[in-house]
Amino acid sequence: MFPWPVYRFPLSTTGLLLTLWLFACTTPSSPDQRIRALIAAGEAAIEAGSLRQIGELISPAYQDPQGHGRRELMALVSMQLMRHANIHLLVQIEHIELEYQQRAKVVLFAAMASGLADVRDLGALQADLYRFDIQVAEEDGRWLVVGAQWRPASREDFSG
């Protein structure tokens, strides 16, 4: 029927190929776009439960106001991933403030829910709301998280 070979891929493979192609064609160029891509990658890594992918987004020089370095942060993240199966996030970036060309502050709100195993569980879904103040910096051409603090947030924070 077609003059060229037709390859049949499973739907998941087709979706992955399409996503990779879109990312290849739309490389973020502005610092704002690249920081948003960093946040999206973090969201995807957390939802996938991939400690390795999360670690790739954290600077070796990470330091937060509580005195945690990268190692302590990764231990905390690892513990949360073990305690909560199937983490689901709804992330809302409030603003990105560029301090310099290679440094920025990001304020975002996240609704985090876990334990959703089936669509029938949606009615019982409860999310914890948090505000994150994140410091990011460009290191060797990549934007990475260099510091963060978080606290509980309210529903009003999500409404603007």
Query: Which tens digits make up the pLDDT trace of 59-103?
Result: 999 999 999 999 999 999 999 999 887 888 989 999 999 998 899
- pLDDT tens digits, one per residue of 6-56: 444 444 444 444 444 444 445 558 999 999 999 999 999 999 999 999 999
The CA distances from residue 49 to 90, 122, 132, in Å, are 15, 20, 19
* pLDDT band (50, 70, 90) for residue 157: confident
**In this predicted structure, what is the pLDDT of residue 155?**
81
Helix ranges (H only) for 49-154 are 51-55, 70-83
Cβ neighbours of residue 153 closer than 8 Å, sequence gap 6 or more:
109, 129, 130, 131
**Residue 87 has what pLDDT?**
87
Instruction: Give the model confidence (pLDDT) of 92-134 as tens digits.
Output: 999 999 998 899 999 999 998 886 655 555 555 678 899 999 9
Q: Which amino acid does the sequence have at 60? A: P
Domains of the chain: 30-158 (3.10.450.50)
Q: What is the pLDDT of residue 121?
A: 55
